[in-house]
């Protein structure tokens, strides 16, 4: 497992305690029977209060999404307070739902719980997080110092090192540089050059490295990803700042060191157990989704059959994990043609080969073939719902890179083929944050960001954010 900075752990534990405390006292204050003492009240209402304690975990998830554990947010009072208010706004919606579940309780006035919880939790979080927690972290930051090495001694690496030396509230201690070439000198701007990239494993044993920041200029994707693999093999936190991943920093909220965006690229699905849990969650949610959405599936299926001649479902060979082909299911949204669409294949290959032109689109579609119902279901992504069967079969996951067509995969560059290292997904990073509005190359980069940054937090976040993307037809074609 990669190392998690201590301050993040302490802040998370503190948040769980404060939110739970706010739930407890807000419930106690709005109890119907005012004669009940605190411990009597807890004993009688334990089943009800357990619901609120479960909601506390969801608050931590919302805090994570809104950046409340990012060091640059913690040290910025205005950003910190804004993120707290935003998180509480969305988190309190959970209190609303739970208060409705306990509205028949003989112990609580659930209508007042929401108000009382807000009155208690906002000042608690402000005083203990924004004021006290931030000041304690600043005062004792040496105890939370991260021993960091910077891989790259070019312009980006030098700029990052300089800013961290002179603008470093984060308490980062730079051990030295790691270079991506033969060593010609032993120091750079007063910072020691520890060795070359190939020496990283030996350097990690010699020094107590907490974090590696990759900041290499003038590097190709293949080499950058090789360096990334080597860094991740050391089981330390790995972060990246590179113009090759600019699309990610534009689309995804990232942490900042001295004002410079850095991407976390340390996988958290890094063992058999976590992958099995991911699989169980995929199957459970897919079956639940099929049951709940069965009326919509039925109606869409009928309308597809009525719209034009042809089957209800569209089946196509796609490339899955490890380059293995599988049958991919969608609702048919186009008229059937006798031959494969060779013209589209030709256009797509040409588009992929010219991806550096930033064409700003990842889809090439013959719109004249789209049926009237096809336009609707494609816009709302309802044509994608049969992929839940692919998830149950084990060909796909709910979250992951989109499965490519065989001819697309055959024309990938070597670095692009890394996206098949994991199961393809029904939704993913570029579908949520880019969809049809990013270039082909950028969609590859966004997928690789997911592959190198897989985590339960990211999966949950992408699943939740997929819902408004579908409802508001963002980027659908």
Taken in order of first residue, the domains within the chain and their CATH numbers are 6-141 (no CATH), 145-264 (3.40.50.720), 272-471 (no CATH)
The token duo for 355 is: 């991806």
Q: In the prediction, which pLDDT does 384 show?
A: 93
Question: Do 210 and 194 touch, CB atoms closer than 8 A?
Answer: no
Query: For residue 435, is pLDDT > 70?
Result: no
Spatial separation of the C-alpha atoms in residues 463 and 467, rounded to whole Å: 7
Question: Do 401 and 419 touch, CB atoms closer than 8 A?
Answer: yes
When pLDDT is cut at 50, 70 and 90, the band that residue 338 belongs to is: low
Q: In the prediction, which pLDDT does 128 show?
A: 92
Query: For residue 1, is pLDDT > 50?
Result: no
The token duo for 405 is: 């067509």
Predicted confidence (pLDDT) per residue in 391-418, tens digit = 999 999 999 999 999 999 999 999 999 9
Strand-strand pairing, 237-240 and 260-264:
antiparallel
The token duo for 61 is: 């998830």
Q: In the prediction, which pLDDT does 403 show?
A: 94
Q: In the prediction, which pLDDT does 351 show?
A: 79
Q: In the prediction, which pLDDT does 312 show?
A: 94
Strand ranges of the sheet holding 172-179, from the earlier edge strand across to the other edge? 187-188, 191-196, 172-179, 146-151, 211-214, 237-240, 260-264, 255-257
How many angstroms separate the first and last alpha carbons of the chain? 40
Average pLDDT, the chain: 84
Identify the residue whose tokens are 């608690």.
124
Query: For residue 237, is pLDDT > 50?
Result: yes
Least confidently predicted of 231-240, 247-256, 261-270, 318-327: 261-270
What are the beta bridge partners of residue 370? 334
Spatial separation of the C-alpha atoms in residues 438 and 457, rounded to whole Å: 24
Nearest to 73 by CA among 162, 3, 170, 200: 170
Predicted confidence (pLDDT) per residue in 43-69, tens digit = 777 766 777 777 788 888 899 888 899
When pLDDT is cut at 50, 70 and 90, the band that residue 25 belongs to is: confident
């Amino acid at each position: 497992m990669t190392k998690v900075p201590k301050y993040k752990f302490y802040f998370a534990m503190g948040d769980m305690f404060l939110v739970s405390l706010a739930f407890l006292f807000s419930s106690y204050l709005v109890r119907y029977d005012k004669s009940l003492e605190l411990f009597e009240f807890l004993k009688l209402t334990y089943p009800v209060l357990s619901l609120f304690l479960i909601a506390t975990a969801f608050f931590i998830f919302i805090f994570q999404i809104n950046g409340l554990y990012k060091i640059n947010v913690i040290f910025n009072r205005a950003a910190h307070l804004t993120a707290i208010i935003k998180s509480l706004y969305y988190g309190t919606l959970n209190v609303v739902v739970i208060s409705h579940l306990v509205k028949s309780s003989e112990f609580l006035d659930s209508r007042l719980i929401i108000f009382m919880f807000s009155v208690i939790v906002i000042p608690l979080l402000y005083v203990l997080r924004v004021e006290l927690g931030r000041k304690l972290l600043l005062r004792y930051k040496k105890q939370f110092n991260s021993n960091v090495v910077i891989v790259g001694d070019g312009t980006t690496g030098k700029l990052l090192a300089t800013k961290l030396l002179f603008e470093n509230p984060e308490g980062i201690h730079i051990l030295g540089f790691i270079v991506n070439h033969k060593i010609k000198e032993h120091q750079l701007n007063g910072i020691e050059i520890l060795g070359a990239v190939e020496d990283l494993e030996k350097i990690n044993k010699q020094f107590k490295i907490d974090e590696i920041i990759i900041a290499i200029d003038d590097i190709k994707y293949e080499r950058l990803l090789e360096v990334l693999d080597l860094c991740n093999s050391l089981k330390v936190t790995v972060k990246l700042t590179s113009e090759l991943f600019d699309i990610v920093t534009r689309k995804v909220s990232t942490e900042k060191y001295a004002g410079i965006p850095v991407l976390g690229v340390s996988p958290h699905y890094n063992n058999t157990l976590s992958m099995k849990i991911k699989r169980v969650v995929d199957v459970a949610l897919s079956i639940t989704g099929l049951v709940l959405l069965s009326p919509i599936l039925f109606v869409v299926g009928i309308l597809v059959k009525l719209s034009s001649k042809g089957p209800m479902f569209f089946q196509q060979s796609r490339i899955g994990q490890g380059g293995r082909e599988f049958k991919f299911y969608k609702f048919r949204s186009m008229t059937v043609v006798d031959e494969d669409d060779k013209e589209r294949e030709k256009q797509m290959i040409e588009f992929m080969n010219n991806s550096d032109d930033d064409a700003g689109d990842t889809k090439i579609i013959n719109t004249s073939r789209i049926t009237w119902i096809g336009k609707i279901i494609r816009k709302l992504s309802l044509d994608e719902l049969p992929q839940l069967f692919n998830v149950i079969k084990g060909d796909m996951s709910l979250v992951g890179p989109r499965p490519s067509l065989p001819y697309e995969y055959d024309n990938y560059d070597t670095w692009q083929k890394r996206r098949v290292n994991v199961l393809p997904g029904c939704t993913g990073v570029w579908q949520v944050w880019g969809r049809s509005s990013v270039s082909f190359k950028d969609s590859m980069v966004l997928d690789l960001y997911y592959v190198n940054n897989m985590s339960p937090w990211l999966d949950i976040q992408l699943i939740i954010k997929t819902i408004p993307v579908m409802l508001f037809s963002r980027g659908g074609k």
